Amino acid sequence: MAKSGRSSEKKKKQNNNGNMAALGVGVKKGPWTAEEDRKLLAYIQQFGHGSWRSLPAKAGLKRCGKSCRLRWTNYLRPDIKRGKFSLEEERTIIQLHALLGNRWSTIAAHLPRRTDNEIKNHWNSHIKKRMTKMGIDPMTHKPKSGTQLLGSNVNHMAQWEAARLEAEARLVQKPRNNYSNQQPYNLLSPSSIHEVHKTPTTLPPPYLPCLDVLKVWQGTLWSNYSINNESLQSLISTSNVSKKNSTATSADQLRNNDPCDQGQTKKLNDQIKTQMGSTFEEFEFANDASNFINGDPLRSPDFWEDFVDLMDGSGWNSITSNIGMLVTPPASPVF
């Protein structure tokens, strides 16, 4: 904890955060009723959630603010996708978990319209068990025999990629979390509140940045798993999605699916990727403005030193000359 000066008394207070019981008022727990859902939804529709702490009283609920917030974010929010996880979603979860561990909110940021709670539950009740059955340690993503699934170069990439994914998650989460902060929700009125999650949302999809690096990463990581594709397939799902689909390369993904295709930039990236191999990630990071928040780079000075060395003089020149394009090298920040 960064703020070490906090007293235990304060902690006690915090643990009762938003809890009406702390105020001596009876607070309801347990499953939410349809009536409670209706009240919560109606209030947020009209006023936005505002302060969660004060919401229950205003909305006429005998719940704590925290409970209301959880009910909203994990169940009532209209931009939530529910139901079975697709093959692609499961694969993304496994890959991101290999990189990030149990950082469910970060993982959720890369799965549009899925909540961290849902992903966590799905991991614990489905994926984790399947991995264990297959003799794979779900925490390390390695076979229990100890054989490494990831090559060393991939591990190196993983370090950077984990940082990258977290940074992207921050970018994703900000607009999504602010979605209803102070603004009333403008929804259709479903006949049953408990059908909210089945009702197609009238809201625009949450903002998601283009995850080129994730795509590249996925292709690389997947091809570096030493277990065969049939095993992976059974690990992910029993569905009949073709092996060809499931093992599409990052280049294929960029070529076929990339909604953010920017012509020459993509061509350059592809060429550089070929030229640079695993160091492509470093290039992309430096070349992406979203890796800087308020002007601060999301990577360490050490990284930039390495990167500048890499890009210095002949390295960059050989890449650009092979591509046949005149491109200025990405600038490194000043520390």
Partner DNA sequence: AACCGTAACAACCGCCGCCGA
Partner DNA sequence: ATCGGCGGCGGTTGTTACGGT
Q: Which residues make up the interface to DNA (CB under 7 A)?
A: 1-3, 5-7, 9-11, 13-15, 17-19, 28-32, 50-54, 63, 65-67, 69-71, 73-75, 82, 102-106, 116-118, 120-122, 124-126, 129, 173, 177
- Are 20 and 26 a contacting pair, CB within 8 Å? yes
CB-count burial class (<10 Å; 0-12, 13-18, 19+) for 172: buried
Q: What is the DSSP secondary-structure string of 290-332?
A: GGEETTEESS-HHHHHHHHHHHTTHHHHHHHHHHT---PPPPP
Distances in Å between the alpha carbon of 230 and those of 92, 134, 233, 243?
17, 12, 5, 8
> Are residues 34 and 194 in contact, defined by beta-carbon separation less than 8 angstroms?
yes
- Written as six digits, the tokens of 151 are 């090559």
**75 phi and psi angles, rounded to 5 deg:** -140, -50
CB-based contact 316:285 (threshold 8 Å): no
**CB 79, min distance to DNA, A:** 14
Q: How far is the CB of 122 from DNA (least distance, A)?
A: 6
**What is the smallest separation between the CB atom of 3 and DNA, expressed in angstroms?**
6
Q: How far is the CB of 75 from DNA (least distance, A)?
A: 5
Q: Which is nearer to DNA, 18 or 219 (CB)?
A: 18
SS (H, E, C) 121-142: HHHHHHHHHHHHHCCEECCCCE
To the nearest whole angstrom, how small is the minimum distance from the Cβ of residue 216 to DNA?
Answer: 24
Closest CB to DNA among 159 and 177?
A: 177
Residue 104 vs 307, nearer CB to DNA = 104
| Pairing verdict, β 142-143 and 296-297 | unpaired
Query: 299-330 in b/e burial notation, b at 16+ Cβ within 10 A?
Result: beeebbeebeeebeeeebeebbeebeeeeebb
Residue closer to DNA by CB (options 69, 142) is 69
- Are 187 and 180 in contact by the 8 Å Cβ rule? The answer is no
Nearer to DNA, 138 or 219 (CB): 138
And the tokens for 141?
Answer: 């993503």
Would you say 293 or 325 has its CB closer to DNA? 293
CB of 56 to DNA, least distance (A): 11
Q: Which is nearer to DNA, 6 or 144 (CB)?
A: 6
Q: How far is the CB of 246 from DNA (least distance, A)?
A: 21
Cβ closest to DNA, residue 15 vs residue 147? 15
Residue 307 CB, shortest distance to DNA, in Å, is 25
Structure tokens at 132: 């264990």
